[in-house]
């Protein structure tokens, strides 16, 4: 079988490490290069369990990246850093598949927005793919089955482990500050609020928080409805929508974030209706580093190369 070479830009972060593990186990993808300024010259295997070989981190200039021979490039960088790299490939006339994990291209209609469970029918061979945000993935999957029956904005209360804040030191990943604490931030206008409102074409109000645990998101969505529903009707709607989706699991009880850590799917449950049946509360959990980032990037790469979408995803 032919293999495809993948370059990973920004491999030192938490998501980069998850991608390295996924690529190491994938039967058709092979890492061509991994970049890290801090780890330049060190063996990738020294920093990543499950990865074998002599591949070393490198720190090339942007204009060098198109010369490294990758069929696909994953950009695992902070917001605001992807554009210069994309420009380097454009200037060199080199056109690999590019998957951007940042928010830089999520509002660009020229890029495919890759939340496969909701958007795979829009994929038509685009070579520029924008990976959804972690919270945005959970929000959209929690809300989508009720589109067409929503009355007014949906309110979403989110709590993430501190890995969502990345590796650059800040209050949101300071373990001492987070101890016995819940830290609210960006309570209006968060990028994921705008992202989800745009993708669902429905207003969403999002209130994110950071908790002391390392990984995993709990997302509680409050949906006002245009008509009364029964709980059985709601459950049937969600189960029908995700019946053929191995990475979305609908359950009766509310999911626990401790049970989603290290898993590649989203769990949706805890369906609770008000007495009049016109207000629904739904809970979704996901691992922010996996289905919220690395696993979803792998789904998108599989699709881009005509492979089974779930190849290399531990189901």
Q: Please, what are the domains in the chain?
A: 4-132+292-304 (3.40.50.720), 134-288 (3.30.360.10)
Location of structure tokens 């939340």: 115
Location of structure tokens 């008000």: 274
pLDDT tens, per residue, the chain with 315 residues: 799 999 999 987 899 999 999 999 999 999 999 999 999 999 999 999 889 999 999 999 999 999 999 999 999 999 999 999 999 999 999 999 999 999 999 999 999 999 999 999 999 999 999 999 999 999 999 999 999 999 999 999 999 999 987 767 778 888 888 899 999 999 999 999 999 999 999 999 999 999 999 999 999 999 999 999 999 999 999 999 999 999 999 999 999 999 999 999 999 999 999 999 999 999 999 999 999 999 999 999 999 999 999 999 999
Q: Is 248 left (phi over 0), alpha (psi -120 to 50) or beta?
A: beta
- The alpha helices in the chain, defined as continuous H runs, are 14-25, 82-92, 116-119, 134-143, 175-178, 191-200, 231-241, 295-304
Residue 193: which residues within 8 A CB-CB, separation 6 or more?
204, 205, 206
Please measure the distance between the N-terminal and C-terminal CA atoms of the chain and give it in whole angstroms: 22
Catalytic residue among 134, 211, 225, 247: 134
Helix (H) and strand (E) counts in the chain: 8, 14
Active site residue 134: yes
| Nearest of 21, 16, 117 to residue 312 by alpha carbon | 21
């Amino acid at each position: 079988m032919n293999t495809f070479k993948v370059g990973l830009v920004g491999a030192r972060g938490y998501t980069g490490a998850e991608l390295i593990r996924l690529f190491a186990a994938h039967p058709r993808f092979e890492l061509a290069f991994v970049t890290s300024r801090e780890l330049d010259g060190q063996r990738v295997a020294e920093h990543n369990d499950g990865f074998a070989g002599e591949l070393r981190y490198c720190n090339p200039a942007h204009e060098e990246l198109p010369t490294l021979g990758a069929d696909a490039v994953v950009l695992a960088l902070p917001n605001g850093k992807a554009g210069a790299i994309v420009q380097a490939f454009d200037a060199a006339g080199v056109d690999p598949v590019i998957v951007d994990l940042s928010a830089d291209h999520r509002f660009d209609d020229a890029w495919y927005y890759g939340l496969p469970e909701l958007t795979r029918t829009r994929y038509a061979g685009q070579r520029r793919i924008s990976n959804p945000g972690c919270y945005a993935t959970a929000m959209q999957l929690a809300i989508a089955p009720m589109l067409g029956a929503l009355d007014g904005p949906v309110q979403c209360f989110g709590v993430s482990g501190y890995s969502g804040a990345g590796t650059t030191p800040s209050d949101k990943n300071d373990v001492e500050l987070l101890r016995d604490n819940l830290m609210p931030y960006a309570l209006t206008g968060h990028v994921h609020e705008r992202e989800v409102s745009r993708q669902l074409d429905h207003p969403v109000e999002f209130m994110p928080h950071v908790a002391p645990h390392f990984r995993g998101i709990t997302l509680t969505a409050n949906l006002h409805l245009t008509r009364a529903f029964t709980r059985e009707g709601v459950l049937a709607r969600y189960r029908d929508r995700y019946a053929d989706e191995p990475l979305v699991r609908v359950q009766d009880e509310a999911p626990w974030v401790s049970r989603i850590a290290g898993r590649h799917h989203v769990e949706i449950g805890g369906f609770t209706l008000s007495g009049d049946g016109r207000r629904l509360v739904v809970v979704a959990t996901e691992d922010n580093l996996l289905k919220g980032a690395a696993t979803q990037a792998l789904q998108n790469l599989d699709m881009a190369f005509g492979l089974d979408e779930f190849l290399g995803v531990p189901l």
